[in-house]
Amino acid sequence: GGIGAATARACAALGVGELVLADLGDMDDIVTELRDQNVAATAHQCDLSQRRDNAELIAAAGPLDAAVACAGICPLEEDWLDDPDWDDVFHRVIDVNLLGPIHLCRELLPAMAARGGGQIVLIGSIAGRMGGTSPIVQPHYVASKGGVHALIWWLAQRAAPQGVLVNGIAPGPIATAMTATTDYPKEKYPLGRIGEPEEIAWPAAFLCSPAASYFSGAILDVNGGLFVS
């Protein structure tokens, strides 16, 4: 997707020699683009909300030095007060946004620890910090991203002694397909705009790099000044 593809490009620009991409959909364009830059890129179509898909992905990928988990959904049409099917939507959001990273880390941590270390980056959200920046953002998304932040802190404490660094990013609204139909009050934002995928990708690439070797349990607030802790 938007942040995932941008992160792949940023890592390639920093000199990464091999990238493993995962998504529900087709990734031919980004794989071709990366290979044209002499980056060995492979793609795996999978549903990261499913434990088996994560296990198969990590087994196929082989040894990994770093991983960025940025798959996410944010349904906006449902009404949590009146929609009779809203509970089903809630479970899907939690499965993708929170259970997915748990599944992924369950597979990553033992292998990284056995190799002496690694770096994991989970993508949270400003919604997990302050409830979102648009009134149409619903509680399932807020709860899922707040859960991601708590998961980062929990994992970091357990992974650091094994040499595995777990950190995260809490983006503000970013111009991706997920937010294309959302009406954000940009005129009220400090920078007067929402962010671009590249503005999350570079911090993610940094957290995967040797420059972040003393980061553990950190969540970078990349939101253009919307939230200051």
Q: Which residues are the active-site residues?
A: 141
141: three-class secondary structure by DSSP: helix
Q: How many CB atoms lie within 10 A of CB 186?
A: 13
**CA 7, 12, 17: angle at the middle one, nearest 5?**
130
Sign of the CA dihedral with 45 first, then 181, 94, and 117 last: positive
Question: What does the alpha-carbon distance between residue 79 and residue 184 come to, in Å, rounded to a whole number?
Answer: 18
Rounded CA separation 124/178 (Å): 14
Whether residue 174 contacts residue 196, with contact meaning beta carbons closer than 8 Å, is answered with yes
| Helix (H/G/I), strand (E/B), else coil: 155 | helix
Rounded CA separation 137/19 (Å): 33
| Cβ–Cβ under 8 Å, residues 172 and 227 | yes
